[in-house]
Structure 1
């Protein structure tokens, strides 16, 4: 008789265990459209053609990084299926591609789509669909608005913080400066301009002698540069994307205009801006950085730089290693991999956003020392620190401390 009891007891225990395991498993594994036991489907929209096509390498780098992740077994055993489309930096096309990704490809979320106007065009759609628009490839300040747009998050330091840092430097070093500004006539350009004016405060009106805007459809900005030179400005704030940044540096040299030149961080690539402009023409240009510059010899024995080079050797051998965008694509992809690991087996859209909004002091190999990724449910700005740098010889030289911008959400 006692033996029977033991068997029943064992059976009951086994049943209880299997019940707890199955509820545990069902509690553990949660999926939304785009995720399963075997894959995570991620959408992306990039300018592979058109006026901002210099940034296309970001998408190519991300694709290579996810190939590496998959070759190493995926994330928590799931392979990444990365679907990237071209929108030529044209907002109507972005809307079309976003709909395709969400409604027919059925991705879990859209990751690191490029550009302020394109992302602005799909922000309401993504939020109404409750599909994450995660780590967008634009520093516009408006991506940090969790209250009104809980499904949209930026990644890089925001534009207003960056120009505020330049403004602080100008006020300290050149308090009597006459400033000429060239900016792209869209949300991206205006965001940078606002940061500059906020940073200069009451002195903005007297210090800024000319604000000149250009359209992204213009073939050249030469005439704008000639006009800005005629103002007699001794400081030039250059708010342009790579193609136009290279034109501006070149034209300044051609017409002998030598102001103190501040160039926005989105155009610091040596491969796609400084070399095409002529290395000799870019001497002394000031910008800012949060990522390591692969052309800077000080990083040659750095572990993070070595890992980046090994990744490129194996997964993207024809990458242009002087192009900062390749560093950017790699680092934002690493940030996403971190978030997906944190999601565990709960691959719902809600949990993806929850994990993206709870990153604490994440340091990645290609970020400058002292720069960390931090987010919270009320702060959707993962990065907010920068260091000033000056173009010297064939590379950027950093100077001063790592500075935090003042712009929150």
Structure 2
């Protein structure tokens, strides 16, 4: 990801500076002896990023989600949102220090957000614009002797913590309610889908395809309509076509039909996130007006939280027995006789055949440890290794203080 950051390399001149150390999660420390305390935390991180050539402000994970830098002081987070990073100055920390002469150590961690890295600049500009508007309102109220005191207190609170008291009032209630309804429908459909996936192989095959479909929507977002388009892009570039192909699913695809589309809840999940059938019922398409990255990422999280079903444990006849402790030796003698009889019946071969089997086993062991052919570990074990014995049942005996013994048979995979 190549993004230009227009930040000057030199720190602003200020009479108040501090020795700052930013400690990363891997233990590495980024250190500067003179950092101006009247600058915001976001600008300081951007300068550290430029100076040390270390990505701090434009990180993203494998799902193209922006990883927000969060600063911690004395193991306590104090700047955990983008608004707080843009609105908090370093002086807000230094003025409360008991030892001003010592270096200031801040720990930096990253947390994935619900938006992608391409939206960072837009959100920063929006936050800065809101702050400029709030400053204008504050100046106007200062000139007015009868200004609203509550408004001043609200502005002061926003400056302190970066979040106004009514920070959620601008959310569209209808849109929020619609998103919440979609979340509930996704949970219901995903629960119904998991109930239909009875084996681990079916579970992995189905949810892996479903997750890949949704992850492609997040990793390959549609181009922003507000971005300037070149004459070549007016008719649709190859990149735009490549992005749009992830928003069309062929219902006749054999792999998708066998592992995904044959489950009705899977189709309901795709319709919840915006897919709809075409007129000829041959494919599912996602229209641009139904794009919602928040819903896509929420579905990915819900899929990752699903647990595969456990394989059914075969039923074993328990054959419960209760006997005295002194009879255990008699049972062991009888069992030894039965096992010896079975071994005699199985091994009727001559001594020459036994030596040939032993010689073959030694050769296989040597070839397994000294391979002459290029092959993987699994294939080598399969070709030269000795297959381990599979036990069909396990005998458990419980001895009681009354010298009674309880015996029963269970499958080896049966839970305790």
TM-score strictly above 0.5: no
Shorter-chain TM-score bucket reads under 0.3
TM-score (norm 2): 0.20
Mark the structure with the bigger radius of gyration: 2
